Structure 1
Amino acid sequence: MNLNPTDIIEKAYLYWAGSGDGDFNVTLNSTAITPDRTFAYSRFFDTVEFTYFSAFKDITTLVQSTGNGTYTLSDLDISAFEELHLQRRTNFAGWAIIIIYKNDNLPLNQINIYDGLEGVPDELAITLDNLNVIDNLNSKVGFLAWEGDTLLATEEFRINGDLLSNTLNPSTNVFNGTNSFTGNTTLYNMDLDVYDIQDYIAIGDTSAKISLTSFQDFVMINTVVTKLNSQLPDATVTIDAVNKACDSRTIVVNYTVANLNCTGPLPAETPISIYINGQLIEITETTAAIPVDGYATGQVTLVLPDSVPDTFEILFVVDDKGDGTGVVYEMVETNNTFSVSETLGTSPTFNPLANLVSCNEGFTQATFDFSAYETSVKTDPENSVGFYESLEDAMNGSNPIFNTHNYTANVTPKEIFVRIDNENCYATTSFLLTSRNCPPTVYNYISANNDTRNDTFTIAGLQNIFLDYKVEIYNRWGKLVWTGNQNTANWDGYIKEGLGTKNAPDGTYFYILYLNDPDYPEPMSGYLYLVH
C-alpha cells in the first residue's frame, strides 16, 4: 500500500476466497483473522458438487495503525479440495483489500459497496440501489471477481445495457485475470478491474443495472464498488425530552433531526412519523433543509388516545410518510428510528388531615406534634411525604420542616403544607395550626423574702396570653389590697392600695382573676398564703 500522506483511511475491508467449503482462519501481517461474514456458492457438474467460499472482515483499525507498506496474507488453505477442483480447473485461492480513503482535495463522491458471492455460469443481473447521481463526471464501477481466464470471447460486462471495456479488458473477455490498479495482466483466477461509466449513467439516476455474461468460463462476482460524484443525506432522529403534566394525556416531545456522516443536505419537508405503541399518531416534517453535519430541533404536542395505557412506547421515524416508506434517498436507510418508553404521571391520593390546636404560649405562639401525619396522610405506603411552611416550598420540594415532633409556630393560626410524592407526580394538601388560651395555673404560696423562690404571686399561662386580664387581691376582711394586669408586675406582698405602702402581714389572702376572654366568662377565684 502506498497512499499519499494527505490520504486518510476511512474503511478497509479484507476479502478472501477459494475452492471448497472454506478456510475461515487466516493471518494478515501476523494478526489472526476470523471473518465478520461468510459467503458460499455451489454448482453441479455431472452430478458432482463443487463448492466455493468467500469471507469478509472489517480491518479498518489494523490498516489505519499499519499504514503504508507490505501486507501479507497467510494460512489460507484449500488443499483438501484442490484435487476435486482440478478436474474442472477451478482450484484457486486469493485475497484483496478494498480501501476507502478521504482527501480534502478530491471532489465529493459517493462510494457504494455491494458484496456477496454470485456465480456467472451464463448470465447474472444485479441492480445497484441507493444511488443519487447529481454529476456523472468521472463515475466509475469496479469489481472483485474470481476464477477468470484469458483468451476467451464469450464474456461481457454491461451497465444499463451498455457494453463496458477498457485497455486491459476487451469487451468479450472482461474476466481475464487483470488488475486495473497495477496494470497486471497475469493475476490468474482473479480480477480487480475498474471501468469509467460516466457515459452510461444519467444525472438523477437512483439505481443502475449491471449484467454479466460468461458462456464459456465459470466466474464468480464477490464485490462491486461504485464511485459517483454524488450527494446523499443521512437522516437520523433522537427524542431529547418528553414533558408530561400529571393527570394529563397531553405530552410535549422535543426532538432533533440530524444529517451526519453524509454527503448532501436533507431536504425541507422530510416527513417524520410518530407512533405510540405501534399506532401512527401524527406526521410532522422538517421545516428547512438541514446541511451536511447539521441538525434541527423541533417540538410536537401529542394528545394520547384513551386506548393508550399509562406506560407506552414513543417511536419517531424520520423520512417516513406513515406507511413505512420515505421520500428521500439516504446514505443509510436503517438508522431512521428512535424510541423511548414513557409512563404517564398520576397524582397520588391522600387522606385529609385534621387541623391541630395547642395551648397559646404567648402572643399566639404554640408548639405542635404532627409527626404522625407522615403516615396517616398516605394512601400508598410507598409514597414519600414532606412538610413545608409555604405552598411555594412544597411545590419546589425545598426547605422542608424536619422537627415535626416539636414544631413551634411563632404566630398562629399558621397553615402547614404537605407534599406527597409517588414515582412520577406529587400532590399537596394542608392543615391549620391554631392556638387557644388554655386555663392558667395559679401558684398560691408567696414567701416574700427575696430568696428568688416564690417571691411573688405567680399565675402560669397568663402573661402575654390573656392580654386583658385583671387580678384583685383581698385580705381576710374583704379589703382590696392589690390590683394587677398585663402591664404590672406580680404581687410581691406589699400593700399599695387603700392602706398605704407597707408589707402585708403574713396570712391568708383571696384573689379574683378576671380573664376577660370569651372562653372564660366567669372569673376565677381562690386563696393564697403569704409569709415573709
Structure 2
Amino acid sequence: MMKLNFNCITFLLFFLFSIALSGQELSLYQQFNGRFDFTFIGNTLNTQENLGILNSPCIINTSSSAQLELQPDDTLEKAYLYWAGSGPGDFNVKLNNIDIVPDRTFNLTETFSGLIFFSAFKDVTEQVISTGNGEYTLSELDLSNIIPNYCPNATNFAGWAIIVVYQNDNLPINQLNVYDGLDYIGGGKLSLSFSLNSLNVIDNIGARIGFVAWEGDSSISVNETLRINGNILSNPPLNPANNAFNGTNSITGSNELFNMDLDIYEIQNFIQPGDQSAEIALTSGQDFVMINAVVTKLNSQVPDATIVIDDYILTCDSREITVDYTVYNLESTNPLPANTPIAIYANDSLIGTIATIDVIEVGESESNSIILQIPNEIPTVFELTFSVDDIGNGTGIVNEINENNNTDVEEISLLLLPEFTILEPIFSCNEGFSIGTFDLTSIENSLLIDFSNTITIHETLSEAETNQNSIINLSNYQANSGTILYIRIENEFCFSITTIELRTKNCPPTVYNFISANEDGFNDFFFIDGLRNIFLNFQIEIYNRWGHLIWKGNQNTEDWRGEVTEEVKWNGAISADGTYFYLLFLNDPDYPKPLQGFLYITR
C-alpha cells in the first residue's frame, strides 16, 4: 500500500527535502468550571480505511450520522461541531438539514506535494439543546471532486464530530478545558509536542483527556505513540500503546471510524495535584495524523478571584480618592475565603492593603468602598491598581483556578485647581471722593495661564463660589478705591478664586485757562477739571501781570469768576480784561510742586 511519506522512496524524498506542513497550534478555546463532563459524537464519511494504490474505487460519502444519548440528569451546556477533510474545504454543510456556516476555519498544507487539508468549527449549542437526544446527520460535505488527488497516497478523508459538554449535579466539581487548532504528525514530521496550559490539578481522581483526530489508520503503527507528561496513553484492545490513532471511537467502542478518532483516556496516574500544565507528545514513523481538538477533565474545587474598580470619586485640589470596587468569584468551583487580601498600588508603589469581608460563594461577588490618600510623591496622573489575593508584594495566599486575572487598572488624573497669575491692583483716575471707572476686560489676559479656562468676576466671595451675579459691564465698571472683586477661574472639573483690588489715583488736573465772565453760561469761571472732590486740600492763587495776588481759593470756595478779593483792588472788586497767572498747590504727595500757568479773562 501507499500512504503519504510511508513507502521508502517517498519517505526518503520528504526527509531529504525537509518538508514541513503549516497549520495552527492548539490553544485553549473555552474553559468550564463546575459539575461538568464531556462526550463525543461523530462519524466518518469514508467507506473504508484508506489503502492507497490498493484502495477500492476512490469514493466518499457526503453525509453520515451519529447518535447522542445523554442521561436524564445531564443538562447540555455546550456543543461544538468540527468537520474536516482533504482539500481547501467545504464550509457550507447541514446538520439535521439546518445550514451550517463555520465560526472559524483551520487549514494545513503539505508543501512538497501541494496537498492541503481543512477543518471547520461551529458552535451548535442552541440547535443541539433544541433537538436533544437522537440522531444527528451531517450532510452536504461533498469532497467527491477533491479526493482523486488524495486517493493514490491514501490521504482522502472526511468526517465530523461534536464535542458535547454537559452538567450534572451528581458530578464532582471539575474543570473542563477545550483546546483546538490543527496540527499534525507524520509527513516527514516524526514528532509533535504541545503544552496544555491553564490547568489547575487539585485532585487527579477521574481525570480524563479526549482527542478529536483525523486521518489515522489502524493498519499503520510504525513508532506511533501518544504520551502525556512522558507517559504512553493506551486503551487496549481499542487503542494499543503503539497505535493510538487507528480509526476508533472510545464512546461507542467502534473500530470502524475510518480515518478519524474520537478517543478518551484516563490520565489520573499521569498528572499530579498542583500541575498547571500538561505536555502532550506524539511520534509517528509513518502514519499521517492531524490533531484538531483536545478536551481535559480535571477535578478542580478552587475559587477564582477577580476584581473590578467600579467607580471612583475625585475631589478638587485633593489627593483623597473614594473608590468603589467589587471582588468576584465567577469562573470558579469553590467559595473564595473571607479575608482574602487585596493590595492597592499607585503606579508600582503599594499604598494600601485591605481584604474581603465575607466568604464569596461560587458565582457571587462582594462590593465595597475605600477612601485612599495618594502620597505626594505619586504624580498627578498615575495608574491605580487593585490586586486581589495579593499580600502587597504580588504573592497570593489562595490557590485559584487562574492566577493571572487578579488585577484591575484605572488611569487616574487628580483634579487640579486652575493655575493663575497673582494680579496687581488696577488703577483708575479718581473721579471724585475716591470713585473711579475701571476697565476689567484686561484681567483675563493678565490672569490666565491656561486659556482654555474661563473666568467670571463677582462683587462678593459667596457669589463667586456659587457662580452667581457675575459683573456684565467689564469695560466701564465704577467703584470706590479699595474695592475688592472676586474672580472665579474654571477648568473642566474645578475652580479657583482669586481677588483683585481696585484703586483710584489722583490724576493730573486739566486747566481750562480762558474765562468769559459775562454770565452767558459759557466759560463764566476758571474751570479746572479733575480738581474738586479729588485733591481735597488744594489751594489756588491768582496773580495779575505785575505779580500781585488778587484771589485765593480751595475746596471750600467757589470757582474764580474774575473777582478781586485781596488787598490790591481797582475798578471796584472786578478784575480787568487781560492775562493773569495762577499757582495751583495740590498738596498731594504725588505732586510736590505747584502747577502754574497763565489764564486770560474777558468780559
Normalising by the smaller structure, the TM-score range is 0.5 to 0.7
* Contiguous gaps of at least 5 residues in structure 2: 1-67, 426-439, 473-483, 502-603
Contact kept, 8 Å, 1:389 with 1:416, in 2: the verdict is yes
The question of 1:95 aligning with 2:194 is answered no
CA distance in 1 between partners of 2:197 and 2:145 (Å): 38
The question of 1:287 aligning with 2:287 is answered no
Task: Output the TM-score relative to the length of structure 1.
Answer: 0.62
Aligned counterpart, 1:149: 217
The question of 1:118 aligning with 2:186 is answered no
Deviation at 1:269, TM superposition (A): 5.5
The question of 1:158 aligning with 2:227 is answered yes
Aligned counterpart, 2:261: 191
Equivalent position SS for 1:165: coil
Aligned counterpart, 1:137: 205
Aligned counterpart, 1:241: 311
Deviations 1:165-207 (A, max 9, x none): 2453233322121212223221111111112222333333333
- Going from structure 1 to structure 2, the CA distance change for 1:72 and 1:420 (only over 3 Å counts) comes to farther
The question of 1:223 aligning with 2:290 is answered no
CA distance in 1 between partners of 2:136 and 2:455 (Å): 66
- 1:313-392 paired onto structure 2 within 5 Å: 313-316=383-386, 318=388, 330-331=400-401, 335-348=405-418, 383=454
Contact kept, 8 Å, 1:19 with 1:52, in 2: the verdict is yes
CA distance in 2 between partners of 1:169 and 1:137 (Å): 22
Contact kept, 8 Å, 1:384 with 1:422, in 2: the verdict is no
CA distance in 2 between partners of 1:50 and 1:329 (Å): 47
- Going from structure 1 to structure 2, the CA distance change for 1:247 and 1:284 (only over 3 Å counts) comes to closer
Q: How many residues align structurally? A: 402
Contact kept, 8 Å, 1:132 with 1:329, in 2: the verdict is no
Structure 1 residues 191-200 or 67-76, which shifts more? 67-76
Contact kept, 8 Å, 1:273 with 1:282, in 2: the verdict is yes
Equivalent position SS for 2:146: helix
Aligned counterpart, 1:106: 171
CA distance in 1 between partners of 2:459 and 2:408 (Å): 41
- Going from structure 1 to structure 2, the CA distance change for 1:339 and 1:63 (only over 3 Å counts) comes to farther
- Going from structure 1 to structure 2, the CA distance change for 1:26 and 1:282 (only over 3 Å counts) comes to farther
- 1:322-471 paired onto structure 2 within 5 Å: 330-331=400-401, 335-348=405-418, 383=454, 421-427=490-496
Deviation at 1:230, TM superposition (A): 1.2
Letter in 1 for 2:94: T
Deviations 1:139-163 (A, max 9, x none): 2111111112224444333333244
- Percent identical across equivalent pairs? 47
Q: Which of 26, 29, 34 is matched with 2:93 structurally?
A: 26
The question of 1:15 aligning with 2:82 is answered yes
Equivalent position SS for 1:340: strand
CA distance in 2 between partners of 1:49 and 1:221 (Å): 20
Equivalent position SS for 2:128: helix
Deviation at 1:338, TM superposition (A): 3.2
- Going from structure 1 to structure 2, the CA distance change for 1:84 and 1:232 (only over 3 Å counts) comes to farther
Equivalent position SS for 1:87: helix
Deviation at 1:72, TM superposition (A): 3.1
Equivalent position SS for 1:215: coil
Equivalent position SS for 2:147: helix
Task: Output the TM-score relative to the length of structure 2.
Answer: 0.55
* Contiguous gaps of at least 5 residues in structure 1: 355-371, 406-414, 433-532
